[in-house]
Amino acid sequence: MVKLQTHQGHLQVAGCDVPELAAKYGTPFYLVNQNLIEDRCKEIHADFLAKYPGSRAAYASKAFLCLEMCRIIAQQGLGLDVVSGGELFTAVQAGFPMERVIFHGNNKTDQEIAMAVDHQVGRVVVDNMYELERLQAEAGRQDRKMDILFRITPGVDSHTHKFISTGQLDSKFGIPTDPEHLRDYMDKVMTMTNLRLLGFHFHVGSQLHANDSHLKAVEILAGIIQRVKEEHGFITEELNVGGGYGIYYTDEDEPEPLSYFTDGIMETLHKECASRGLNVPAVTIEPGRWVIGEAGMTIYTIGSIKEVPGIRTYAAVDGGMPDNPRPSLYDAKYDAVIANKMDAPRDAVATIAGKCCESGDILIWDLPVPQLAPGDTLAVRSTGAYNFAMASNYNRLPRPGVVMVKNGLDRLVVRPQSYQDMLSTEI
Ligand SMILES: *Cc1c(COP(=O)(O)O)cnc(C)c1O
């Protein structure tokens, strides 16, 4: 958990004064702490990559992606997960090294497959037979050889909201582990001259605080690695264990360090491989939320404050579900502070409402706050992941911009949409 810094009652992020940023840029905006992103990348290097030679890490770009984020991730020496043509296009435009790109997705279109082959992305993670055949055909057409992994549904249930749980058997993602199924894929891929299977991928879910689903999935995958070796003579070179490492949103979260997951994964993998007489494959991790989540805040201005006598006080902000759909989508919990009243006692309670025409447009229920006044600056914490990325134009609210801060300096890396921008595709 990141400790909040204050100076004379004002919230400070990376040495920048948040109420001053609010005055300079106008609210709402996403505030991203580049120092924290870089600290997380360094932790990945020190506690995982340096410790386990041959291992790799790719940032799951769906959590938060813009050109500047691609440049930061490239500069930090990590790879990049993409799941769509749009994400790949962003990476291409940012000059991201394509050999470090991993292309996911359960329904890649013909155009996306062609793009992946054309740009020679480092890995395509193949989700299903339909994709496998089209990828082989396209790679043949372009006379290229593509490195691939098979996405496996390990059939483990993770302890998280069902909308962000992905590893259970009943899932739209991946290839089931039953022997018949996988045998078909293995037989098929061995005949495909433009594809080179390197190994397997799984992703069990998101915002996990316990490592048991990862460890269980590693055991299941070790069984598969053994089976394909015995049945097909296939040596697995790579195992991609996905992301899902949990972060701090509220005091209900007690996040573990990354090494709690990665050391556990590596220990289980080594043990499983030793007992089955297998070579240990190189491991890739794909953290998204863990890299960016706590580095982000959303900065709003408080407007109308409405007391419903005997029930609760609603304080409304100049944004809401279009810039942060997660509370209404999966009942996600957030904490927030009043950035211009950091020294005042939190002796009142307010429910933070958005400005949209939906009763469900509530960002935070019953938040302890100091005495509020219109014009106060609200900073919602841990909004770095799946906020900007999921933002919509509901009620025709323009999407907020992104202000990046580092070592006391601030800069705009995504400008806010204008009303005109919202009409730019209309005929
Ligand atoms: C979403 C996703 C991730 C990242 O998940 P986080 O919970 O943000 O770490 C990694 N890999 C795949 C395949 C994903 O779909």
Q: Whose CA is nearest to atom 3 of ligand 1?
A: 243
Is 317:378 a contact under the CB 8 Å cutoff? Answer: yes
Task: Give the C-alpha separation, 22 to 1, whole Å.
Answer: 24
What is the spatial distance between Cα 383 and Cα 31, in angstroms, rounded to a whole number? 9
Q: What is the token pair recorded at 278?
A: 């297998």
From first to last of the 427 residues of the chain, give the pLDDT tens digit. Answer: 678 999 999 999 999 999 999 999 999 999 999 999 999 999 999 999 999 999 999 999 999 999 999 999 999 999 999 999 999 999 999 999 999 999 999 999 999 999 999 999 999 999 999 999 999 999 999 999 999 999 999 988 766 656 556 666 677 889 988 888 899 999 999 999 999 999 999 999 999 999 999 999 999 999 999 999 999 999 999 999 999 999 999 999 999 999 999 999 999 999 999 999 999 999 999 999 999 999 999 999 999 999 999 999 999 999 999 999 999 998 999 999 999 999 999 999 999 999 999 989 999 999 999 999 999 999 999 999 999 999 999 999 999 999 999 999 999 999 999 999 999 999 9
pLDDT at 162: 61
Amino acid 178: pLDDT: 85
- How far apart, in whole angstroms, are the C-alpha atoms of residue 142 and residue 115? 11
Q: What's the CA-to-centroid distance between 165 and ligand 1, angstroms? A: 10
Question: Ligand 1 center to residue 233 CA distance, Å?
Answer: 30
Cis peptide bond prior to 28, omega within 30° of 0: yes
Alpha-carbon distance of 202 to 134, in angstroms, equals 22
Q: What is the value of pTM for the model shown? A: 0.96
pLDDT per residue as tens digits for the range 130-157 = 999 999 999 999 999 999 999 999 988 7
For residue 208, the ligand 1 atom closest to its alpha carbon is: 7
Q: Which atom of ligand 1 is nearest to the CA of 207?
A: 7
- Positive/negative CA dihedral, 169, 175, 179, 180: positive
Among 3.20.20.10, 3.40.50.720, 2.60.120.890, 3.40.50.300, name the CATH number for the domain at 34-289. 3.20.20.10
Other beta carbons within 10 angstroms of residue 187's beta carbon come to: 11
The Å distance, Cα 279 to ligand 1 centre, comes to: 26
Q: Where are the domains of the chain?
A: 5-32+293-423, 34-289
In this predicted structure, what is the pLDDT of residue 165? 61
Q: According to the model, what pLDDT value does residue 349 have?
A: 98
| Active-site annotation holds for 66 | no
Residue 298, H or E segment: strand 296-308
Architecture in CATH of 5-32+293-423: Beta Barrel (2.40)
Q: Best mutation site among 56, 203, 283 for ligand 1, i.e. most ligand atoms within 8 A of its Cβ?
A: 203
**Ligand 1 mean position, distance from CA 290 (Å):** 10
Q: Which atom of ligand 1 is nearest to the CA of 206?
A: 7
CA-closest residue to ligand 1 atom 15: 203
Q: What is the pLDDT of residues 331-375, one digit of tens each?
A: 999 999 999 999 999 999 999 999 999 989 999 999 999 999 999
φ, ψ (nearest 5 deg) of residue 36? -70, -40
60 C-alpha vs ligand 1 centroid, how far in Å?
Answer: 6
Choosing from 56, 206, 285, 291 the residue with most ligand 1 atoms within 8 A of its CB, the one to mutate for a pocket test is 206
| Torsion sign (Cα): 86, 90, 95, 101 | negative
Angle among Cα 32, 4, 347 to the nearest 5 degrees reads: 120
Q: Which of 83, 253, 286 to mutate to test the pocket of ligand 1 (most atoms within 8 A of CB)?
A: 286
- Selecting among 66, 70, 356, 357, the annotated active-site residue is 357
CA–centroid distance, 346 to ligand 1, in Å, is 35
From the CA of 287, give the closest atom in ligand 1. Answer: 9
Residue owning the nearest CA to atom 11 of ligand 1: 242
Task: Report the distance separating Cα 51 and Cα 54, nearest Å.
Answer: 10
- The dihedrals phi and psi of 346, each to the nearest 5 degrees, come to -85, 75
* Closest ligand 1 atom to 386 CA: 8
CA dihedral sign of residues 98, 235, 168, 266:
negative
For residue 409, what are its two tokens? 């300096």
Where is 75: in which H helix or E strand?
helix 67-75
Give the pLDDT score at 2.
78
Going from the Cα of 285 to the center of ligand 1, the distance in angstroms, rounded, reads 9
The reply to whether 34-289 shares the fold of 5-32+293-423 is no
- Listed in sequence order, the residues at least 6 apart from 78 whose beta carbon sits closer than 8 Å to its beta carbon are 41, 44, 57, 58, 59, 100
- Quote the ligand 1 centre to 424 CA distance (angstroms): 32
The two structure tokens encoding residue 174: 């991946």
Q: Which of 31, 12, 16, 26 is nearest to 384 (CA)?
A: 31
Beta strands at 16-17 and 10-13: parallel, antiparallel or unpaired: antiparallel
CB 349 within 8 A of CB 367: yes
Q: Which atom of ligand 1 is nearest to the CA of 289?
A: 8
Find the residues whose C-beta lies inside 6 A of ligand 1.
Answer: 60, 62-63, 81, 104, 203, 206, 242-245, 286-290, 385
Give residue 371's identity as a one-letter amino acid code.
Q
Among 81, 160, 294, the mutation site with the greatest number of ligand 1 atoms within 8 A of its Cβ is: 81
Per-position b or e across 17-43, b if 16+ CB within 10 A of its CB: bbbebbeebebbbbbbbbebbbebbee
Peptide bond between residue 257 and the one before it cis (omega within 30 degrees of 0): no
126 Cβ neighbours under 8 A, 6+ residues apart: 132, 135, 148, 149, 150, 151
